[in-house]
Structure 1
Amino acid sequence: MYQQQENHKFLSHFKRKFLIKRGRRGLTKNLGGKWPELFQMRANGSSVCNRTIQVDCQSNQLCSAFCHMLRIPFKEIDDVGHRGVVYVWFGKDSDPREHEFARQVASDLVVRDDDDDFRIVDVREGEENEEFWRVLGGKKKYETDSSFVKHTRLFRCTNEKGYFAVSEKTVDFCQDDLDDDDIMILDNGDAVFLWIGARSSDIEAKLSYQAAQVYHASLRMKANEKPRKFMLAVRGHESCRFRKCFHAWSKMKEPMG
């Protein structure tokens, strides 16, 4: 079982309070927690698949569709005895029913065992203070269009069994589902992307291109579907419109072999 590819049975034991932090083995507790940390809470498909994942501590990582937690340790204890603060940021398009749960996640998981004197502060999008933006490196452009959440679909194109086939991935997909041996089709509601794996074959590329065209044409025939652009996504140079469909996107791993 790999990170962000956990099955429903495994995730159900955590009752939606599943936190993934950056780090490595051997990193002592004394070295961690001394700098600001940003987390994004997001559920793909079923609410059981709710994960809170640490992302780059930059304002361009925010998304209006979700709740975020910004943990800020103070260099010195403030006047009322607090050693830090955790801002729980509610995106304008986030589900109001998730706000209280986001506070619980911040209190139970983001705040460390020795952070009893950290205060938790609710922040709604558009009501941020100067400290919030300063810690995130200044206010930058971030994703404010949340429509992609309702439309995102990922398809895998492969001929690994001796014949070409296109299959839709589960809605709980992640970046690691982008297989270098295959070609993927991603629909985010605004565009249909054709993503080509580093080790995919020429015949796969040709057939996948045709399959993507058929899918794109079928969407145009549906009256209730808005028109999509047809675009190519280059591995390692994916646009923000592509990356936003994946929870906690990070630098692509180099293909082995």
Structure 2
Amino acid sequence: MLHVLSQGCSGDEREMAKAVSDVLSRQDKQVVMEGQEPAEFWVALGGKAPYACDKRLQKEETPHSPRLFECSNQTGVFRMTEVEDLAQEDLDQDDVMLLDTWEEIFLWIGRSANEYETKEACNSALEYLRTHPAGRDPDTPIISVKQGYEPLTFTGWFNAWDPHKWSVSRAGYHTSQHH
């Protein structure tokens, strides 16, 4: 039996994993650190693929909760409005969304967002950092993310992210899938 320890796991989590593996099997266990897994491990899982393992996602508790804002000029005036929940369904493909994870700011660009919204969202992100009451680092990275091409460092902030919610057609355009 192979026992893989995540780079971000705590001592309590290691002990719990050991206790569970003892219940599952009495045979000898091979302990391996994340990143050192043998090829058979990945074969048993159906092959190795990207997964959320970025060190920023491994922090046990972040002192600042992520915040999501909708950036839109739908009313004729550009506004940045905070969205209460952090769910994939809140990402509006007609707008730009700003996700503040404290370490980074993501500008998620919906496929139907207009050029003005995109430009103003970028300007607003800079102003948001400059005027934040907590005195934010002005060099905080601002990362643009296109709908359908979200990196794990973005999707990892959302519970139950559905990578198939938006599919890419042959022409390279994104289409929304309704479930």
% identical aligned pairs: 27
Secondary structure of residue in 2 paired with 1:126 = helix
Secondary structure of residue in 2 paired with 1:247 = coil
Q: Which residue of 2 aligns with 1:201?
A: 114
CA–CA separation in structure 2 for the residues paired with 1:183 and 1:196: 5
Q: Which residue of 2 aligns with 1:125?
A: 13
**How big is each residue's C-alpha offset from its partner over 1:59-116, in whole Å with a ceiling of 9 and x where there is no partner?**
9xx9x7xxxxxxxxxxxxxxxxxxxxxxxxxx74xxxxxxxxxxxxxxxxxxxxxxxx
Alignment of 1:137-156 (within 5 A): 137=45, 142=53, 143-148=57-62, 150-156=64-70
Alignment of 1:1-257 (within 5 A): 92=10, 124-127=12-15, 128-129=17-18, 137=45, 142=53, 143-148=57-62, 150-170=64-84, 172-219=85-132, 222-223=134-135, 225=136, 228-254=140-166, 255-256=175-176
Shift of 1:149: 7.1
CA–CA separation in structure 2 for the residues paired with 1:249 and 1:256: 14
Query: For residues 234 and 141 of structure 1, do their structure 2 counterparts lie closer, same or farther at Cα, with a shift above 3 Å needed?
Result: closer
Q: Give the AA of the match of 1:180.
A: Q
- Count of residues in correspondence between the two structures: 138
Shift of 1:176: 1.0
TM-score (norm 2): 0.61
Query: For residues 141 and 178 of structure 1, do their structure 2 counterparts lie closer, same or farther at Cα, with a shift above 3 Å needed?
Result: closer
Query: For residues 228 and 178 of structure 1, do their structure 2 counterparts lie closer, same or farther at Cα, with a shift above 3 Å needed?
Result: same
Query: For residues 157 and 124 of structure 1, do their structure 2 counterparts lie closer, same or farther at Cα, with a shift above 3 Å needed?
Result: same
Which segments of structure 1 move beyond 3 Å, counting only runs of 4 or more?
129-138, 140-143, 146-150
Query: For residues 230 and 146 of structure 1, do their structure 2 counterparts lie closer, same or farther at Cα, with a shift above 3 Å needed?
Result: farther
Q: Which residue of 2 aligns with 1:22?
A: none
Superposed CA RMSD = 3.7
Q: Give the AA of the match of 1:161.
A: T
Shift of 1:144: 1.6
TM-score (norm 1): 0.44
Is the CA contact 1:192–1:216 (under 8 Å) kept in the aligned structure 2? no
Specify every segment of 5 or more residues in structure 2 that has no aligned partner in the other structure, as ranges. Answer: 26-31, 33-40, 167-174
CA–CA separation in structure 2 for the residues paired with 1:161 and 1:233: 24
CA–CA separation in structure 1 for the residues paired with 2:91 and 2:59: 24
CA–CA separation in structure 2 for the residues paired with 1:236 and 1:150: 27
